Structure 1
Amino acid sequence: MIELRQTLSTASDQPDSVGIAQQLCQALEDDIVKGKLPPGQRLEEPLLAKRFGVSRTPVREALQLLTATELAEKIPNRGVYVSLATPERLTAMFESMAELEGMCGRLAAKRMTSGERHNLEKIHHDLAQTVRHGDSDNYETLNRAFHNALYRGTHNDVLVDVTLSVRRRVAPFRRVQFQSLARLASSHEEHQGIVDAILRGDVKAAEELLYGHIMSVHDISQDYLASLRNDKAAEKPSDKVMIAK
């Protein structure tokens, strides 16, 4: 089995099996979108449990979470296998995400309290620091906080729940963008426009800018996954030559 470099937190960090399952799921997601686990690779519970030093229960839960993101497919009587979303499916997921984020931006521009606006500005300022230091890990963490602040600013719990559910499905693809330091800068620049629109209460601009922000990530993800597919296709002829020998 292809080696997984990620390790899980200790039991004291994440005491419950759900937390461990989520960590394991994210580790597998990252390996899939980075091409370390290619499409068609079988994900076997015993091997994953051994590698991560956990029981099979959180592994089973992690694989269930993974299938929900469509990065894996459960085939009856055969097991769970790595899969990549088709370009059409990926577009459908990002269009849904973009529409939801745009709606969040529109309502946040109208409903955010002064304290919530101040918090959004602070997160945006902290993000600038990570861009200057090229700290992609902390940028990713703060980026989630930035978008969460926008969601909460809608003061609509139903919309927040739906948005978070869809974000969970596209999260592995959204993380792809943070591999590029140049993207950190452009992402932060897009955030600036969003913050400015929120602060002046411009509901239309906030909606349009957030929609465009998410679709920019869509374009990056599509290009990246296309390169993975091309790399995989390029391997096949050489594999056949080896077999012929």
Structure 2
Amino acid sequence: MTEFDEAGSIGQRIKLVLMDEISSGAIKPGTSLDEATLSSRFGASRTPVREALRQLEAIGLVEIRPRRGAAVLPLTMPRLMEMFEVTAEMECMCVRLATHRITGMERAALSEIHEASKLAAAADDFEQYDKLNLSFHETLYRSAHNEFLFDELMRLRARLLPFRRTQLRQAKRLAASFLEHEAILRAMMRGDATEAALIMREHMLNAALALALYMQIAEGAK
């Protein structure tokens, strides 16, 4: 591994920790993120810290201000719920199209991801399930065979990514998410696009509710 690759890997780990803390409310909006303080906290040089902050800025969690450093941007719960609502409708459209357009190879890939996520959910392996969850949804996006819809969903997913990740931390959410995925797949395999879309909408709104509950509990524990 080169020095550049190592810095990138450390930066990715720092980004994930900060992303989780911001999206769960552990780090409040308006909080300054000082490079020197973060370097000391993570035992890293400023290079990976700076890269982590740039990535957080790219997904809209922080603002890097000239000569003042980075600060966490405000994002209210009502705004988050609106974003989840829009995502739910777009994913419904995606599933309706994918039900009729999915190829045999895509169907096999989706089933393989789903089976792997079953093991992750059973083991309560948050990190592995999170990765597989992203793969499951992205495979669905591609299976709709609509490039414009794919691009828009990926843009919105990038904005919601920290919060879609955080909602999986709510108690029993991994198992519930897996069962919702299974119901979506079964409806798709039957060729029932309407049912698959309805289940997808419920799946996304359940994710939004899980996020709200997780953040409420986290706030109450302070």
TM-score bin, normalised by smaller chain? 0.7 to 0.9
- Mapped pair 1:173 → 2:163: yes
Q: Which amino acid aligns with 1:137?
A: E
C-alpha displacement of 1:56: 3.8
Q: Give TM-score, length-normalised by structure 1.
A: 0.77
> 2:75 — aligned with what?
85
> 1:182 — aligned with what?
172
CA contact (8 A) 2:187 2:196 kept: yes
Alignment of 1:110-129 (within 5 A): 110-129=100-119
- Mapped pair 1:153 → 2:143: yes
CA contact (8 A) 1:14 1:20 kept: no
Q: Equivalents in 1 of 2:168, 2:43: separation in Å?
A: 28
Q: Equivalents in 1 of 2:128, 2:8: separation in Å?
A: 24
Cα distance change of structure 1 residues 12 and 78 upon mapping to structure 2, 3 Å threshold: closer
Q: Equivalents in 2 of 1:142, 1:89: separation in Å?
A: 26
Q: Equivalents in 2 of 1:13, 1:75: separation in Å?
A: 28
Q: Of the candidates 10, 13, 25, which is equivalent to residue 15 of structure 2?
A: 25
> 1:239 — aligned with what?
none
Cα distance change of structure 1 residues 202 and 18 upon mapping to structure 2, 3 Å threshold: farther
Q: Which amino acid aligns with 2:212?
A: Q
Cα distance change of structure 1 residues 226 and 85 upon mapping to structure 2, 3 Å threshold: farther
* RMSD, aligned α-carbons: 2.7
Deviations 1:150-171 (A, max 9, x none): 1111122222222111111111
Q: Equivalents in 2 of 1:14, 1:176: separation in Å?
A: 29
Q: Which amino acid aligns with 1:215?
A: L
C-alpha displacement of 1:20: 5.5
Q: Which ranges of structure 1 fall in alignment gaps of 5 or more residues?
A: 1-10, 233-245
Q: Equivalents in 2 of 1:70, 1:231: separation in Å?
A: 26
Higher mean displacement: 128-137 or 206-215 = 128-137
Cα distance change of structure 1 residues 22 and 95 upon mapping to structure 2, 3 Å threshold: farther
> 2:184 — aligned with what?
194
Q: Equivalents in 2 of 1:125, 1:13: separation in Å?
A: 37
CA contact (8 A) 2:30 2:74 kept: no
Match of 1:80, SS? strand
Q: Equivalents in 2 of 1:49, 1:138: separation in Å?
A: 27
C-alpha displacement of 1:12: 4.7
CA contact (8 A) 1:90 1:222 kept: no
Q: Equivalents in 1 of 2:83, 2:212: separation in Å?
A: 12
Q: Give TM-score, length-normalised by structure 2.
A: 0.84
> 1:4 — aligned with what?
none
Q: Of the candidates 195, 201, 205, which is equivalent to residue 215 of structure 1?
A: 205
Number of residue pairs the alignment of both structures matches? 222
> 2:89 — aligned with what?
99
C-alpha displacement of 1:17: 6.5
